[in-house]
Amino acid sequence: MNFSDAEITAIVLSLRVALVATLASLPFAIAIAYALARWNFPGKTILNGLVHLPLVLPPVVTGYLLLITFGRRGPVGEALEACCGIVLSFRWTGAALAAAVMAFPMIVRAIRLSIEAVDPKLEAAAATLGASPLRVFATITLPLAIPGVIAGAMLGFAKALGEFGATITFVSAIPGETQTIASAIYGYTQAPGGEDGIMRLMFVSIAIAMIALVVSEICARRVGGKGALA
Tens-digit pLDDT profile for residues 155-175: 899 899 989 999 999 999 888
- DSSP percent split of the chain into helix, strand, coil, nearest 5: 80, 0, 20
Cα 76 from Cα 39, distance rounded (Å): 30
Residue 230 lies in a domain: no
Residues of the chain with pLDDT > 70, as a percent, come to 95
What's the pLDDT tens digit per position in 34-86? 999 999 999 999 999 999 999 999 999 999 999 999 998 899 999 998 898 88
CATH number, position 117? 1.10.3720.10
Single pTM value for the model? 0.88
In a domain, 142, yes or no: yes
Residue 206 has phi, psi (to 5 degrees) of -65, -45
- Residue 211 contacts by C-beta under 8 Å, 6 or more apart in sequence? none
**Residues in contact with 41: Cβ distance below 8 Å, sequence separation at least 6, in sequence order:** 35
Q: How many domains does the chain have?
A: 1
Could you tell me if residue 71 is inside a domain? yes
**Is position 161 within any domain?**
yes
| Single-letter code of the amino acid located at 96 | A
pLDDT tens across 144-157, in order?
999 889 889 988 99
Q: Is residue 84 part of a domain?
A: yes
Residue 229 included in any domain:
no
d(CA 90, CA 66): 11
Binned at pLDDT 50, 70 and 90, residue 224 comes out as: low
In which domain, by residue range, is 187 found?
5-224
Task: Report if residue 96 sits inside a domain.
Answer: yes
